[in-house]
Copies of this chain bind each other. A is one copy, B any other.
Amino acid sequence: MATHTHPRQNLSDLTARLRQHAQRITGPRQLILEVLRREDHPLTARQIHGQLDCDLATVYRSLRLLEEMAMVKRFDFGDGTARFELLGQNDDGHHHHLVCRECSTVVEIGECFSGNLEQRIAREHGFADVSHRLEFFGLCPDCQTT
């Protein structure tokens, strides 16, 4: 369990969270949550849509909603396509990824640099409420042999 602790929450927990936010529990939303629940790596909207039977626009709309209510987190690997991961109940989802430049394999990274750096940067420049986005890229073991 050195890897990212993934919330193995069940569907009713998830729908309960939806309900808390006074949102309707619709078919597509449940399906999207199910898909995200069984993956522990970020998925693109298109990938999610591929495992579903609803409109792609609905997937985008639902993901945005779920992101606003902090049930999913959006990641950006710089390839022009957003990826989404399910968040646990009290999880701010702060973690990073190590992505293979060749095959796009993704490894979840729990570690991060010390908060010092962030605070120092914020202070030095007078910024408030500073967060960061950090992703690693490299060649995975398989792709090194090519």
Which A positions have Cβ atoms within 8 angstroms of B?
Answer: 76, 78, 80, 98, 100-101, 107, 109, 111, 113-114, 117-118, 120-122, 125-141, 144
Contact = CB atoms under 8 A, between A and B. Distances in A.
Contact of A139 (B107, B129, B137): B129
Nearest to A76: B78
Q: How many copies does the complex hold?
A: 2
22 contacts: A76-B78, A98-B125, A98-B127, A107-B125, A111-B121, A113-B114, A118-B136, A121-B136, A125-B140, A127-B136, A127-B141, A128-B138, A128-B139, A128-B144, A129-B138, A129-B139, A130-B138, A131-B137, A131-B138, A132-B136, A133-B137, A134-B134
